[in-house]
Amino acid sequence: MSGRGRRAALPPAGHRKAPVLDADGLVIRPVSGAGVPLGVWDFRDSPGPVDFRRALVAALAEQGQGWDSAATYGSNVGTLRLFFKDAAAAEPPITTTSQITAEWWKQWTGDLHIRRVLAAVVRRARGVPETTRSFMETPRRRPPARRGTRRKQAHTREELKAIRDAAAATVRAGRLRVAANTAVLERWRAGAIAPGDGEWAVGEVLDMLARSGDLPRYHSGNDRSVVAYVERVFGFEGNAASLTRLFPTVREVGAAAVLLIAYEAWNLSVLKVMDVPSWWPNADREDPAVHQVATDKARRGRRRHASNTLVDVGEGSSGRALHHVLELTGQARTTLGLIGRPTSKLLVGHRGLGGAENLRDYATSNVLSGAIRRWQRKAREAGVVLPDRVNAQALRHSAQAHHGRARNNTQDTHERDYQLLDEEVRNTSRGAVELGLAQAVRSARETVAMRMVDQVDGDAELVAKEAEVDIEVARRIVADRLRTPVASCADFLHSDHGVAGTPCSVSFLLCFACRNAVATGRDLPRIAYLHQALESLRSAVTPAVWAADWAAHHARIGDFLATYTTTDSRPRLVAAAAERDRELIHRMLERRLDP
């Protein structure tokens, strides 16, 4: 039922979904959930027995049912082709799925993550031994030396600006070229250029190019050269230059991608499939200054669809950059519509010396990353000074680090994967972290509220006097009936950190800041061991996490020990902590004792 209660239209009777696999079982023709073709993947020329290939190709088709990206298919197809090649070259050759043993698979995958990804496909194939399937399903941990998070180095603000300016210059040159030729074309179509005029022939050939996506060519045998008339009209500038009079070149599309990533920190996968804006918040203007761009980030699952607002406030703004990219690629989209291949993709252009078949978008495979590489290489050759690592990933990280807020991800992801991993951010925030730690230490020392009764020895009256508690409570403390992981609690229902009359539900670490907590000499081994455990934890977390979650507790416990113990006595106290008490401390730090 639709939202208004009307029944949705049903497909015609007898409708069947088109098969993904061809009849021979070696060609996959996948379609996304939105009905978009995701390419044609042919394994007929791969080595190995037909039945062996069919089993694994069928497994790939089954695994790919939920994929919506041609790039995902391309990556897995490439790995499966390599698998067939290496299986045929093995000694003895792997010719059936039953021969894929755990030992051979382990040797083939090695430490290469891209090969291990194929396990999800291979284990679906019929005939794979159960031991191999179980091995593939068991999570693998990287060796200890390789675990950990790699630090990232962002471009400086000056470097990022230099990259952005160089990309903008390339886009500007392409946009002006396309605009100049489009102006000649429009004047020719409007009859404003008289026959015999020097620009009339140029307008005529541009019209052919705009309507067909190609230049007039000879079609005899293998000769597909551009006709001599076109070469004369365009001054023998060469086919590559002539084909891009109305369309952006590969490197100009690469520059456009660099420019937009530098402004908006978009992922390359988002840019590849990005459509032109279809709605403008201020569309009442003849030239809208606010662009609403839809983004599709597949790996975010249900949150994959979002939008960004780019405001055009003049040169140097993200909205103006997008406006220039739209102008650069506009005629290419128009021509694609005229030749029966309409597209709404933002990044389109001419990708070679061939005909209209090379006028297309950059949504599949790695062509857009290749365009970025070509742009930066040509820019360096032209004398433009660019920093190292001009690629989509480095640019996105740099933009995220310098923009200071989340871009196309959550705030947690922004802080965890960009801010905390960036060397410059860590260095510049060191002073703030140290100041926060110092303030936490001062605050902790001012708020240690736990009371200490050194000698108990069954004397409830002494405990009641020194701890200033009721005699009945003192008796229960002496009997060890009010014990917590760190001390004893004199009043569980009236915590300093909760609502009066309700059971305390805060972390036991806050006992040190509660007036109801009473420690005795028998609690000191646990407290000393807790302090040592926190010291070990300090080296395992980032300075920011330590300052936010642990510094105040560590300082408070350290001040308590400094007040009631000596430095020499603490190793003996730690050694005296019973195994069950140590386990209790670890469970507390892992939050397994929290209510």
Q: Which of 140, 170, 202 marks a domain boundary?
A: 140
Tokens representing residue 455 in the block: 């000698």
Domain boundary among 121, 140, 159: 140
**Do the domain assignments include residue 163?**
no
Question: Among 25-34, 399-408, 498-507, which is the least confidently predicted range?
Answer: 399-408
Question: Alpha-carbon dihedral of residues 539, 541, 547, 551, nearest 10 degrees?
Answer: -50
Question: Quick check: is 294 in a domain?
Answer: no
In a domain, 135, yes or no: yes
The Cα diameter of the chain in Å comes to 118
Residue 536 lies in a domain: yes
Q: Does any domain span residue 456? A: yes
| Between 370 and 444, residue with greater pLDDT | 370
List 311's β-bridge partners, or say none: 290
- Among residues 140, 157, 178, the one where a domain terminates is 140
Six token digits for residue 452 = 């200490």
pLDDT at 416 over 70: no
Looking at every residue in the chain, the average pLDDT score rounds to 81
Q: Angle of helix 157-189 relative to helix 200-212, nearest 10 degrees?
A: 110
| Higher local confidence (pLDDT), 27 or 352 | 27
Task: Among 70-84, 151-165, 219-233, 321-335, name the most confident range.
Answer: 321-335
Say what the pTM is. Answer: 0.57
Q: Which residues pair with 348 in a beta bridge?
A: 361
Pairing between β-strand 290-296 and β-strand 305-311 as defined by DSSP bridges: antiparallel
How far apart CA 583 and CA 576 sit, in angstroms, is: 14
Q: Give residue 100's pLDDT.
A: 92
Q: Are 256 and 322 in contact (CB under 8 A)?
A: no
Residue 139's pLDDT band (cuts 50, 70, 90): low
Q: Which of 96-105, 174-183, 209-218, 455-464 has the highest mean pLDDT?
A: 174-183
Give exposure, 500-525, as e/b (b: 16+ Cβ within 10 Å). Answer: eeeebeeebbbbbbbebbbbbeebbb
% of the chain at pLDDT higher than 70: 81
The pLDDT tens digits of the residues spanning 512-540 come to 888 888 888 888 888 899 898 888 888 77
Give residue 554's pLDDT band: very low, low, confident or very high (50, 70, 90). confident
**Is-contact 491 484, C-beta < 8 A?**
no
CA end-to-end distance (rounded Å), the chain: 45
204 part of a folded domain: no
Nearest to 57, CA basis, from 10, 116, 125: 125
Closest to 293 in 3D by CA, of 268, 274, 312: 274
Residue 293 burial by Cβ neighbours in a 10 Å radius (0-12, 13-18, 19+): buried
pLDDT greater than 60 at residue 407: yes
User: Quick check: is 10 in a domain?
Assistant: no
User: Is residue 165's pLDDT more than 60?
Assistant: yes
Paired with 361 in beta bridges are 348
Q: Which of 419, 424, 503, 518 is nearest to 462 (CA)?
A: 518
What pLDDT does residue 150 have?
A: 58
**Domain boundaries, position 448:** 435-589
Cβ contacts of residue 382 below 8 Å, gap of 6+? none
Per-residue confidence band for 143, with pLDDT thresholds at 50, 70 and 90: very low
Max avg pLDDT among 258-272, 353-367, 548-562: 258-272
- Amino acid 337: pLDDT: 94
* Residue 500 near residue 492 (C-beta atoms within 8 A): no
**425 membership: H or E segment, kind and range:** helix 423-428
Work out how many domains the chain is built from and give that number. 2
Residue 364 maps to a domain = no
Q: What is the mean pLDDT of residues 390-398?
A: 83
